[in-house]
Amino acid sequence: MDNIFSERQWAQKQRWLINKLAAIKPDIIGFQEVFSPDALNRLVVQSGLPYFRVVDSPQVDSDHVYMKPVVAIASRFPIVSVESVEFSDELVHELKLQNGFSFSRTPIRSEVLIEGFGTVLVYVIHLKSKRSQFERELPPRLESNSEIRAHMLAEIHGRWASNIQRGTEASMIYQDYVEQMCLKERPTMILGDLNDTIESAALQQLVAGRGMDKLGPRYISSLSTEERRFIERFSLFDSYDLNINPAVGQRKPTHYFANKGSTLDYILLSKDFNSAYDHSLAEVIDYQVHDQHLQNPDHEKDAQCSDHAPVSVDVEVRF
C-alpha cells in the first residue's frame, strides 16, 4: 500500500523521467521494472522516442495493485522485430535443472534499424536480484536459538538459490546471443540491470570471450588470426572497457544499498563496437553514469526518482 501513488506523486514520477530523458537524449533505451507500459509508451513518445515495445504484461493482483513488472525498449529508430527470449530446453537438461525453469523477468530481443548503419540486435534484460528466494517473515523478537538458526539458513540458502537463478539466466542470454550470431551476424547491444557486478562468477560468462585464455586444451595465443576472429564473433564486452574517452575516469556505482555503492547496470556490446577489433564498425567515444539524483538529490525534483543511476554510451560509426 505504501507504493500506491497519489496524483501529485504520479506527476512527480513522470516529470522526473521526462527530465532524465531530456538530459540523456537516448536514441535507444532499455527500461526495467515497468508496471505501467501504456503510460510509459505515451511518455517516451512525447520525449522523441516513437517506437516502444514490451513482450510481457505486469501481473495485476487487484484493480489497482500491479506485481511482477516487465522490461521495455524505446527507440528513435524503427524497431523492426521484437521477441521474448525463451529458455533452452537443451541447456535446462545439460545443467540438470528442473523442467519449467524460467526467467524471473522475460527478456526482450529486438532488431532496431539504424539509418546509415544497418540492423542492430538489442537485448533488454533484468536478471534475478540477490534477495533471498526463501524469505521468511521475521517475528518482532527471536525467542530461541532454533528460530535464529532457521531464519539464518533460510537467508543463506535463499541467496544461493538467487545466485543460481541469476547465473542460469545469464547463461541463457549468452546462449541465445551465440545462436543469433550463427543465424545472422549483427552488431549487438545488451542493456540491463544485472543485479550483480560483471566480475561476479554468475555474470562472467556474459563477457567470457574477452578474457578467454584457452579453448579446450589449446591456448588462444596459439590459434590463427581467423580462429581468434571466430571467438571474437561470439564475445561481448563491457562498454566501460571499450570507451576511448580518457576523461571518463574511475567507474561510478549505479546503485547504493546501506551506503555501499555497486555497479549493477551495464551496456554490453559486441566486437563491432570494439575499436581494437580489426573489422569494427563503430567505437565507444563516451560512457556516463547519470547519478546526480543519487549523489546530490533535490527533494522537489527527485522525490519519485529511480533508485538506480542510468548508464549511457555515445557510439560513433567508423567510416
CATH number, domain of 23, equals 3.60.10.10
pLDDT band at 25; cut points 50, 70, 90: very high
For residue 125, the model assigns a pLDDT of: 97
pLDDT per position as a tens digit, 81-108: 999 998 878 877 887 777 778 899 999 9
Residue 229, pLDDT > 80, answer: no
For residue 8, the model assigns a pLDDT of: 92
5-9, 75-79, 201-205: segment of lowest average pLDDT: 201-205
Run of H or E including 161? helix 145-183
Mean pLDDT (the chain) is: 88
- Distance, CA of 189 to CA of 68 (rounded, Å): 24
pLDDT (average), residues 253-280: 92
pLDDT (average), residues 42-50: 97
| 130 within some domain | yes
Q: Pairing relation of β-strands 108-114 and 265-270?
A: unpaired
- Specify the higher pLDDT residue, 79 or 246: 79
For residue 209, the model assigns a pLDDT of: 63
The closest of 27, 32, 30 to 48, measured between CA atoms, is 27
pLDDT (average), residues 57-65: 81
| 93 within some domain | yes
| 243 within some domain | yes
For residue 57, the model assigns a pLDDT of: 92
- Distance, CA of 205 to CA of 115 (rounded, Å): 32
| 4 within some domain | no
For residue 210, the model assigns a pLDDT of: 65
For residue 127, the model assigns a pLDDT of: 94
pLDDT per position as a tens digit, 115-172: 989 999 999 999 998 776 556 566 666 666 776 767 677 777 777 788 888 999 999 9
Are 54 and 99 in contact by the 8 Å Cβ rule? The answer is: no
Domain of 162?
12-317
| 111 within some domain | yes
Number of domains making up the chain = 1
| 241 within some domain | yes
Read off the amino acid at residue 267: I
| 6 within some domain | no
For residue 72, the model assigns a pLDDT of: 98
Q: How many CB atoms lie within 10 A of CB 312?
A: 19
| 5 within some domain | no
